[in-house]
Amino acid sequence: MSNQRKLRMALPSAHEIGYKSILDSLTTAVLVLEDNLNIRYLNPAAESLFETSMTRSHGQPFGDILVDSEDALKTLFAAADNGQSYTRREAEFLLTSGLRLTVDYSVTPISLDPTELLIEIQPRDRLLRISREEDIISQQETTRILVRGMAHEIKNPLGGIRGAAQLLDRELGSADQREYTRVIIDEADRLRGLVDRMLGPNKALKLAPTNIHEILERVGTLLEAESKGRLRFSRDYDPSIPEFRGDKEQLIQAFLNIARNAMEAAFENQGGHSREEPPTIAFRTRTLRQFTIGHRRHRLVCRINVIDNGPGIPPELLQNIFYPMISGRASGTGLGLSITQSIIGQHHGLVECESEPGRTDFTIFLPLEDTP
């Protein structure tokens, strides 16, 4: 049976009078369940929320896309039996991917024999995330202004110091004395290079059709070589993600910075809480529809998760990890994540991080359509 025919059976009137196009355009997740709680219809917002598709989920039990949902399922069965509507506030859904969602949802019976249930779900996390993203973007802009100003104030006197040292080097006749001027010149060059790295990539993006999975596989290959096979990789890709216009080389650098940090953390913890668990990094990709990044709403966005089982990032450090010169390791420069945030920002995307002992999750959002 074709998917279109299945959809007509699920919502015959909606298809006939154009309501389906309205449901497909909603940002509210809408589901229709049969009386046995099998899924009959999902709109695109629900597909995005539950990380599944209408084709894959049609006819499947609603409990297959949730974990630890016995109480919710019992209440849904009761609603199907007695035909009563109800609303739940700040309920928690746990997806099979491990993602926890805080949602408000309403259940309405839409037929009597057999009873079908219409469920409308409004994620609460979305509003919190948009507010958090606005703060992150504001912090990024403040940091860029601060770093540009500091770079200007540092590079100008450095140029004078280096020039004076070169002139002095020419006047000195002793090789021992010239050794000191060379130290001054070398240190001035080192500081100048450090400031340039703080500023991030200063060249224009070379945009071309880019496949996100090619980038992740390239990063994985590099880390496998560096780790000499001691690092375990887990991949969970959405093969439907289309190509987008991006700078492949810079994006490889951005993801390599994150993944290399994840690798070092995984080795530092020797596998997280369990000594038997090997150091592991997981790459996961998903598409999101009608997704907002900052103030801009995008029709289609790619979400990439880079997850490690290291010791986690201390809470006092977590809020500042994207600032330059902030590092949790004694040997770290504190520039990798700052550069990553700059590259992703140039692609109109965003990087977020959540961390707890045994699990650190960097989430990268990249628009899949051209953004002016």
Task: For the chain, 372 residues long, give each residue's pLDDT as a single digit of tens.
Answer: 444 444 445 554 544 446 778 888 888 899 988 878 889 889 998 988 888 888 888 888 888 887 656 677 777 878 777 778 888 887 888 787 777 788 888 888 887 667 788 899 888 776 666 666 666 666 666 766 776 777 777 777 888 888 888 888 888 878 878 888 888 888 888 887 777 766 666 667 889 999 999 999 999 999 988 888 888 889 999 999 999 999 999 899 899 999 998 998 888 765 444 456 788 999 999 998 878 887 788 889 999 999 999 888 888 787 777 766 555 554 555 567 878 888 888 898 988 888 888 889 999 999 998 765
Structural domain includes residue 372: no
Clarify whether residues 214 and 342 are in a common domain.
yes
Is the CB of residue 50 less than 8 Å from the CB of residue 33? no
Clarify whether residues 355 and 251 are in a common domain.
yes
Clarify whether residues 232 and 134 are in a common domain.
no
Clarify whether residues 37 and 150 are in a common domain.
no
Clarify whether residues 305 and 241 are in a common domain.
yes
Report pTM.
Answer: 0.57
Is the CB of residue 7 less than 8 Å from the CB of residue 20? yes
Strands 115-123 and 29-33: antiparallel
Which CATH number characterizes residue 50's domain? 3.30.450.20
Clarify whether residues 116 and 134 are in a common domain.
no
Query: Exposed, middle or buried, 100 (CB in 10 Å: 0-12/13-18/19+)?
Result: exposed
Clarify whether residues 212 and 327 are in a common domain.
yes
* Tokens matching residue 15: 């298809």
Clarify whether residues 165 and 248 are in a common domain.
no
Domain count, the chain: 3
Structural domain includes residue 226: yes
Domain that holds residue 145: 128-199
Clarify whether residues 38 and 86 are in a common domain.
yes
